[in-house]
Amino acid sequence: MSGTRFFSSILHFLLIISAFAYMYRFAVLCITFHVAMELDELGQTEAQKGRRRRVAVVVLGDIGRSPRMQYHALSLARQACLEVDIVAYGGNPTFMMIRVEINCRWMTYCISKIGDLKSTNLFAFIRWYGLLLDMVDQPYLLYSEVRHTITSLFSAVVLQTQWPTVPQRLPKMLLPLMLLLKPMIQFLMLLWFLCVKIPAPDLFIVQNPPSVPTLMAVKWASWLRHSKFIVDWHNFGYTLLALSLGRRSRFVALYRWFEKHYGKMANGSLCVTRAMQHELAQNWGIEAAVLYDQPPEFFRQASLEEKHKLFSRISNTLGQPYGIRDCISNGTTCTNSHDASITLFTSQVGTDITLNQNRPALIVSSTSWTPDEDFGILLEAAVMYDRRVAASLHEDDSTGVDVLWKELCNGKQFLYPRLLFIITGKGPEKEKYEEKIRKLNLKRVTFRTMWLSSEDYPLLLGSADLGVCLHTSSSGLDLPMKVVDMFGCGLPVCAVSYSCIKELVKVEKNGLLFSSPSELADELMMLFKGFPNECYALNKLRDGVIEKGSTSSWATEWEANAKPLISEASPLFTFQTLASLVFLSLKFPHSMGHCI
């Protein structure tokens, strides 16, 4: 302690000298040293009291398909300055992996500074010193990039092996045995990771569902490691099980009891809607704080250059119809399909990029191709749109597609545009619906299914004209994350109506709701009338999305609703956050608008 105080006095002296000499950057560096030493000293004291400044995020599923839990980990590292361990299945790439790649050069630099000192009490000081020294040496480093680096440095990922799928030909007699064997093995595996493989945390944050055996394993681990745990309720697990087994199944009743019993043992709860908060309070005896999903900052409207590059990358997929030809594949005959400067939607002349006037309207839908999303609604609506447009133009069935394309190539503008639906996602019913698409005979509507990288998916949303959501909640109490992402990209949405969807979709402000294929077809006719220059209803919805999006963010929601629960289990949360913000406000006064 005496050595730390001695160096602290020296730094104070240097700070006074540098202030008189107007050496601003050197003054900031001195403040950095002082804050780091105080953190190290306080950290040693708190460590003696059993406080570890560490949080474990637990997901018994593919972390790449759980953006909300990724955002929790990001906020814990960025806003709370805590070390984060993620215990989850591997699979799809995570958003954090993108940030690690972006900051790979910085990470190599910082790790070389740290060396093998991770086991010493000085590691906290060296970690902060390496981060802040780099910020002083690179005055033009954006704060958003620094936040990504903080995430890379403070987060660790622990990956389990994904549980194999149950064979479809498994005898029915063995199905109950598999239903019991699977959670038992998962429980032991999860308990091993939580109690042995990761350092002891102050707090576990666990995603629900799945409830079995996750809640029990986390409860036992929190008891064995003298930690607390918080449940983040995304939905109710028993309602998902009821989709396959039926509501009256004894397994469903047992699952619900288990979920309620261990859910009530948590030290705190978060949930995704007001309706779920009310259900938990009235029927489960659980008090939960509502933390609405918000899109991350990289979900935004795409620029013309980004749109052109994206459409160039996926041009081969767009040019492959589900049949001999369709409206999009025929449309390429009007232009040189081998010219990289011209895509279905954009054209480039020199450095200038413009949107094509006769382009189709781009509609995006993301689906997991599961029974809780009735994709047949969208197919029926597409057929109705095609027929109604033909009727409004007094076309009969004998009018061929070739006649339509001859008029388009001659520059004729129609009151209603062609529609291109791009459906993204993976799932068990994808092939079934692709076969149905092949049997459709539509002149003005076509479909493409694809799987996009985590970099291209936000660009597609930011380049589209409308989003469609077919999600219907198994419980009626959760909200679709895909709509949140669409709103983040400034994209208005047409969504299936159910009990609590109005908490997210504000009718005639940022989107529309429908309950049948006919209603969706009517909305498509209304929104795209006069496309692309005179679709006033669509532009009004887009303006509403942008206006609402500018007033909310995940960071502010997390600060207001998740922080009070987490701060109870992490005493250094407030102090470390304050110290980091003091420094960043000195170094980046114009960037603090992006901070919490």
- CA separation for the pair 298, 546 (Å, rounded): 15
**Distance, CA of 9 to CA of 26 (rounded, Å):** 16
Phi, psi of 317 (to 5 degrees): -65, -40
83-89 and 155-160: which strand pairing? parallel
Q: What does DSSP say about strands 83-89 and 493-496: parallel, antiparallel, or unpaired?
A: unpaired
Top-confidence residue, 381 or 548: 381
Report which of residues 164 and 437 the model is more confident about. 437
The mean of the pLDDT values for the chain is 75
Q: What's the token pair of residue 131?
A: 């981060």
Contact at 8 Å (CB) between 210 and 184?
Answer: no
Q: Is the pLDDT of residue 586 over 50?
A: no
In the predicted model, is pLDDT for residue 133 greater than 90?
A: no
- Token digits of residue 473: 């909640």
Q: How far apart are CA 99 and CA 418, in angstroms?
A: 38
Q: Which of 114-118, 215-219, 489-493 is the least confident region?
A: 114-118
Q: Report residue 123's pLDDT band, with 50, 70 and 90 as the boundaries.
A: very low
Separation CA 454–CA 98 (nearest Å): 8
- pLDDT tens, position by position, 522-571: 999 999 999 998 899 999 999 999 888 766 788 888 998 898 888 875 55
Res 451: pLDDT:
87
Does residue 115 surpass a pLDDT of 80?
Answer: no
Residue bearing the bigger pLDDT, 524 or 295:
524
Which range among 34-38, 91-95, 159-163, 367-371 has the greatest average pLDDT?
A: 367-371
Q: Distance between CA 127 and CA 145 in Å, rounded?
A: 17
Distance CA 488, CA 299 (A): 5
pLDDT band at 297 (very low <50, low <70, confident <90, very high): confident
Please tell me which of 99-108, 428-437, 501-510 the model is most confident about, judged by mean pLDDT: 501-510
Of the listed ranges 12-26, 259-273, 436-450, the least confidently predicted one is 12-26
Please say whether the beta carbons of 68 and 295 come within 8 A: no
**Confidence class of residue 493 from pLDDT cuts 50, 70 and 90?**
very high
Residue-level pLDDT at 477: 92
What is the spatial distance between Cα 371 and Cα 375, in angstroms, rounded to a whole number?
Answer: 9
DSSP 163: P
- Residue 578 CA to residue 538 CA, distance in Å, equals 43
Query: Is it the case that residue 397 has pLDDT exceeding 70?
Result: no
pLDDT at 442: 85
Q: What is the pTM of this model?
A: 0.74
Q: Measure CA 59 to chain center.
A: 15
User: Per-residue confidence at 184, pLDDT binned at 50, 70, 90?
Assistant: confident
CA distance 442 to 326: 8
Q: Is the peptide bond before 176 cis (omega within 30 degrees of 0)?
A: no
Give the residue-averaged pLDDT of 187-199. Answer: 88
Share of the chain above pLDDT 90, in %: 35
Structure confidence at residue 154 as a pLDDT band (50, 70, 90): very low
pLDDT at 84: 86
